[in-house]
Structure 1
Amino acid sequence: MYRFLASRRWLVRTIAGILLVLVCVRLGIWQLDRNEQRTAHNDVVEANVDDDAVPIDRLAAPGAALADDDQWRTVQVTGRYDTDNALILRLRPVNGVPGVHALTPLVTDDGNAVLVDRGYVASEGTRDDEVPIPPPPEGRVTVTGRARTSETGQGTGGDAARGDIRYVDIAGIAETMPYPLYGAWIERTAQDPAGSGELRTIPAPETESGPHLSYAVQWFLFAVVGVSGYVLLVRAEARGRAEAAAEPGHGDSSGPGEDSGDHAAGEPAARAHGGGRDQVDR
């Protein structure tokens, strides 16, 4: 009944259906992975973002990477801003608003430095290199902020020596600095003295779960629909072929076969009668 599945047309359909289902399943698994990553991110944020401030050297010494579990912890550091080696962190929108971030090294008393994202200025259609960046306060400054891990694996996405970057790759930036850098950078949340108010403070990270779980369910449903649709299509084809085979005149030995036999058997008799009449006429 299902021998038609071995035909070329149905083999193509079967392979295409299998590939479609596999793609849907793979996309569903990918969305589940994204959901797990988002959940792990949210757990770290919720566990760390409201903690009491700790000295930065307790989390990441110069040259030592910040542990993933310590990201977003509140840290505090005192030093002097080095405006000669200030950087512009570009293409970093905040809440959908394009802007330029001021990333400035804060040099501590021991000669080490930590990169501080002092805040951002909305670009509002202005070229990144033309956005005016307010200077930091002079003298000793105490900065409180959220510790961030180095954005490694992509390079700086710019020219750190020129002061224009896209990613905070601490190791890459350290090569252009005259002092060692701590293995974490800071998103400023508070500062004493406050300095200019023109820089906007970066908001805390969001902890929404996002749509990944619902997307995963949708992809798995698509896979189920694909399998169900294929099965229904095969059954409909098989049923149609069975009904066609059962119709009179379609391969039935009791129909056309018998008619043809009767015709063949009657033909000699007809000839015989015809021949008899011919003889009488003669």
Structure 2
Amino acid sequence: MPPTARRVLMGLLLLAAAGFARLGFWQLGRLRERRAGNVVTAAARRAPPIALTPALGRTDTLAEYRVVARGRYDHAREIVVRGAVLQGVPGVRLVTPLLLSDGGPAVLVDRGFLPAPDAVTVDAKGATEPGEVEVSGIALPMPAGGGEPLEHGGRITWRRLDLTGLRARMPYEVLPIVVQQGPNSVAPSFPRRAAPPPISDGPHAAYAVQWFLFAGMAAAFAVLVVRGNRAGPRPPA
């Protein structure tokens, strides 16, 4: 390989190694942020359950806290979140507005998973819970936007919960959280309640190792290029 080409290749390899290393350190930073957030989440879940009442005031700070609410479900405005999968089985998630007993805004309750062959079409008539109910679960923040509502079989389905889109369709105020109802021994088989989202470090450590390996490989190839350049061409025999 000509010397100029070797120098260009070595420079590109060193540049790639630096870029890979930077991505590795970025993932380590993300890992530190994730662990700091995990400490806050774990503390919130250990706290005593908070009763959702109109007198509570702001609820957007309740993310990851255990909450309890009493009221009646508005099944007429039930929300179907399409594209769910549970243990390889396609289905939907059933989210129902709960009208609080003490009046005030409604809170959305993720009541769980219902199987559906196409992950869209579902008959939720058998999943109604009439009368006053008490709901306990984890409060999770509700994203704004990206709901992508679609009409299918006379029912609106959503790609995900969308606070802005849902508030525009509801005749009453909706709190900016969704209660993920936890499993219990008296709950029906379906909707299948979901366990709280796990607290974990995520994939950041593995990604960091991956990027550092790429950086090491690129640097090693650069060293091989330098050594090959120093060795030079062999004289003819």
Contact 1:149 1:184 in 2 (8 A): yes
Secondary structure in 2 matching 1:206:
coil
Residue 45 of structure 2 is aligned to residue 49 of structure 1: yes
**Equivalent in 77, 90, 100 of residue 69 of structure 2:** 77
Residue 121 of structure 2 is aligned to residue 130 of structure 1: yes
Separation of aligned partners in 1, 2:131 and 2:213: 61
More strand by share: 2
- The amino acid that maps onto 2:228 is A
In structure 1, the gaps of 5 or more residues are 248-282
Residue 176 (structure 2) aligns with: 183
Residue 27 (structure 2) aligns with: 31
Q: How many aligned residue pairs are there? A: 231
Separation of aligned partners in 2, 1:229 and 1:121: 53
Residue 164 (structure 1) aligns with: 157
Separation of aligned partners in 1, 2:131 and 2:55: 25
Contact 1:86 1:102 in 2 (8 A): yes
**Are residues 122 and 22 of structure 1, via their aligned partners in 2, closer, same or farther at CA, if it must alter by over 3 Å?**
farther
Residue 252 (structure 1) aligns with: none
CA-CA distance at 1:82 after TM superposition: 0.6
Return the index of the structure with the highest Cα Rg. Answer: 1
More helix by share: 1
Secondary structure in 1 matching 2:160:
coil
Residue 222 of structure 2 is aligned to residue 226 of structure 1: no
Over residues 3-54 of structure 1, what are the superposed CA-to-partner deviations in whole Å (9 max), with x where a residue is unaligned?
x75x2x2343134313422442243234324433542443233222243211
Separation of aligned partners in 2, 1:216 and 1:28: 4
Please identify, of 84-93 and 159-168, the stretch whose mean Cα deviation from structure 2 is larger: 159-168
Separation of aligned partners in 1, 2:183 and 2:103: 22
CA-CA distance at 1:74 after TM superposition: 0.6
**Are residues 145 and 117 of structure 1, via their aligned partners in 2, closer, same or farther at CA, if it must alter by over 3 Å?**
same
Contact 1:86 1:163 in 2 (8 A): no
Higher relative contact order (CA 8 A, sep 6+): 2
**Are residues 223 and 60 of structure 1, via their aligned partners in 2, closer, same or farther at CA, if it must alter by over 3 Å?**
farther
- The amino acid that maps onto 1:14 is M
Over residues 59-96 of structure 1, what are the superposed CA-to-partner deviations in whole Å (9 max), with x where a residue is unaligned?
974xx5623xx322111111111111111012233455
TM-score (normalised: structure 1): 0.70
Separation of aligned partners in 2, 1:98 and 1:37: 33
TM-score (normalised: structure 2): 0.81
**Are residues 98 and 26 of structure 1, via their aligned partners in 2, closer, same or farther at CA, if it must alter by over 3 Å?**
farther
Please identify, of 206-215 and 175-184, the stretch whose mean Cα deviation from structure 2 is larger: 206-215
**Are residues 190 and 218 of structure 1, via their aligned partners in 2, closer, same or farther at CA, if it must alter by over 3 Å?**
closer
Residue 79 of structure 2 is aligned to residue 87 of structure 1: yes
Contact 2:83 2:120 in 1 (8 A): no
CA-CA distance at 1:195 after TM superposition: 6.5
Equivalence map 1:89-238=2 (5 Å): 89-94=81-86, 97-108=89-100, 109-123=102-116, 126-133=117-124, 134-152=126-144, 154-159=145-150, 162-189=155-182, 196-238=188-230
Residue 60 of structure 2 is aligned to residue 66 of structure 1: yes
Please identify, of 224-233 and 71-80, the stretch whose mean Cα deviation from structure 2 is larger: 224-233
Contact 2:84 2:119 in 1 (8 A): no
**Are residues 158 and 144 of structure 1, via their aligned partners in 2, closer, same or farther at CA, if it must alter by over 3 Å?**
same
Separation of aligned partners in 1, 2:55 and 2:29: 28
**Equivalent in 3, 6, 9 of residue 10 of structure 1:** 6
**Are residues 199 and 132 of structure 1, via their aligned partners in 2, closer, same or farther at CA, if it must alter by over 3 Å?**
same
In structure 2, the gaps of 5 or more residues are none
